[in-house]
Amino acid sequence: MHKGRVVFGAMDEVVFGRPAAEAAVEQIDRLRANRAFLMVSGTLNRNTDEIEKIRKALGPRCVGTFDAMPPHTPREAVIGAAAQARAAGADLIVTVGGGSITDGAKAVQLCLANGIDTVEGIDRIRAVGGAPPPMAAPTFRQISIPTTIAGGDFSASAGVTNEKTRVKEAVRHRLAMPRAVILDPAITLHTPEWLFLSTGIRAVDHCVEGICARESHPYADAQALKGLSMLVQALPRVKADGGDLDARMECQIGTWLSMGSLSSGVPMGASHGIGYVLGAEFNVPHGYTSCVMLPSVMRWNKSANAERQALVSAAMGHPGQDAGDVLDAFIAGLGMPRSLADVRVGPEHFDRIAQQAMKTPWVPRNPRKIDGPAQVREILILAA
């Protein structure tokens, strides 16, 4: 008999297939916001007219723009953005960009609500042992317009990198989840191919680790299996024709579904946990961490969850085949990196990576039990 609990997030709407500027105005009207603060991709702001379209559509309701969020959301940039939003008197944040910007806005909301204005102050809101401390709820919310497809827009959690310790730390609150997400495939045309496709593998990773988790349940499976099927069909179409908006839309919807497991309480596993360390310590892009780790994690886990892995192979169109091999071939077919060596992480770093990975929330919840760093090292050797 199934047992469990699904907690629904604090998101109102997902709008898909509509121009970003038009949909953003409708959402701001709906929320009756008057002072929208933009947190956006610097590349989009400087090299395209996409952000200017949104500024013009908002008119005087746009009170500022922050476009300096580096990858992996460092604390310093969060505090800088929070100071700018505070000075602007914002009553809504609109993000346009990738996962680091989306996560940054979540952290900014919590900093503003809790009077945090220093890098050290973020200690007051970071999760410890996977549990967030008591904190004030955000006083205003966020609308997200993603340009990549990692899926963080559908989560109430954010990863913020502590530059001093080189550790990515979680901050979360149920109201940090965006109030609405706008999926516009046209705005992703500016995203570099490697970034779009690799974040698509991050979404695949969400599906796969959700399906293979010990805590999986039918509600989560339904979304993850459909999301995986959509992603594996659409990503090669984007690779073949970058201008295929239908394929990009399928990828965006598949990514939305990919977050169904995590948002309904199903934990991720070692691929995500090790990926946190690779990103924070070695600056490996989020999508690349999944490209190089997921097949090896699947192979290491197979003795514990072969039946669940069979669902992955079937959803990817290869029933009866080894899921790790199917994923490996799929990732290689997109031209993505396939090993730790490809992302310049060598065996001399494996001991430290393994020790740090044990401190993440996901490695201890991997479907095949990981008792200590030595077993993480076994996975790293498979991915070397």
C-beta separation of 199 from 150 below 8 A: yes
Stretch 241-250: mean pLDDT, rounded? 98
Beta bridge partners of 15: 182
Euclidean distance between CA atoms 224 and 64, whole angstroms: 37
pLDDT of 179: 97
Higher pLDDT, 57 or 263: 57
pLDDT at 143 (0 to 100): 98
Is the confidence at residue 215, as pLDDT, over 80?
A: yes
- Give the contacts of 302 (CB within 8 A, at least 6 positions apart): 309, 322, 323, 324
Q: How far apart are alpha carbons 288 and 71 in whole angstroms?
A: 13
Q: Which CATH number fits domain 13-185: 1.10.10.60, 3.40.640.10, 3.40.50.150, 3.40.50.1970?
A: 3.40.50.1970
Write down the pTM of the prediction. Answer: 0.95
> What percent of the chain shows pLDDT beyond 90?
95
Q: What is the CATH architecture of 193-383?
A: Up-down Bundle (1.20)
193-383 has the same fold as 13-185: no
Q: What are the beta bridge partners of residue 144?
A: 95, 181
**pLDDT score for 127:** 93
2-58 per-position pLDDT tens digit: 777 888 889 999 999 999 999 999 999 999 999 999 999 999 999 999 999 999 999
**Domains of the chain, residue spans:** 13-185, 193-383
What is the average pLDDT score of the chain? 96
